[in-house]
């Protein structure tokens, strides 16, 4: 008999702009690939110069299954779409014309990672007799961000826009 118990803590991706907008993994991913790039600029004679530290990138595969409950998986998929789309395309506020800043949380043993969604690839794999999508996988790519640096940059752009231009 196996002693294996599934993880009780579920992976969650949530919006930092809208606390009611989050997606909880129905089934935790089987893996969480994390990569980190370091920017080096090559020069002559095999000399390289450190450019900048880049945020980590993660790819999460989420499975949504509503077959047995006879429920559509579209609710969760639409939330992912909403978090990866501009908050308000028509806003005059620059921070509202971009997609949501998010946080990825997986229990309390791993760090919370502030991030943005860089892509969502959805694969529908099952429908009920009425054509309702009841099973799908979503591959979500996330890029780690510095929320405070991003906030200050947005505030600087807003104040530059608000200043009257000299003629």
Ordered by where they begin, the domains of the chain are 11-162 (2.40.30)
Alpha-carbon span 38 to 53, nearest angstrom? 5
Greatest alpha-carbon pair distance for the chain in Å reads 80
- For 23-56, how does the pLDDT look when each residue is reduced to its tens digit (9 = 90+)? 999 998 888 899 998 888 888 888 888 877 788 9
For residue 162, the SS3 value is helix
pTM of the model: 0.79
Tens digits of per-residue pLDDT, 114-133? Answer: 999 999 999 999 999 999 99
**What confidence tier does 111 reach under pLDDT thresholds 50, 70, 90?**
confident
């Amino acid at each position: 008999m196996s002693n294996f118990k599934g993880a009780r803590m579920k992976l969650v991706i949530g919006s930092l702009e809208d606390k009611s907008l989050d997606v909880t993994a129905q089934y935790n991913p089987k893996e969480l690939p994390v990569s980190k790039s370091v920017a080096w600029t090559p020069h002559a004679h095999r000399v390289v110069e450190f450019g900048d530290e880049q945020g980590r990138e993660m790819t999460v595969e989420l499975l949504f299954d509503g077959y047995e409950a006879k429920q559509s998986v579209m609710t969760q998929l639409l939330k992912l779409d909403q978090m990866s789309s501009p908050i308000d395309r028509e806003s005059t506020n620059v921070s509202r014309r971009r997609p949501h800043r998010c946080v990825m949380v997986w229990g309390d043993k791993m760090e919370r990672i502030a991030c943005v969604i860089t892509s969502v690839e959805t694969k529908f794999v099952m429908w009920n007799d009425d054509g309702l999508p009841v099973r799908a996988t979503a591959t979500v790519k996330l890029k780690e961000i510095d929320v405070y640096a991003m906030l200050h940059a947005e505030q600087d752009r807003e104040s530059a826009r608000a200043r009257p231009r000299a003629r």
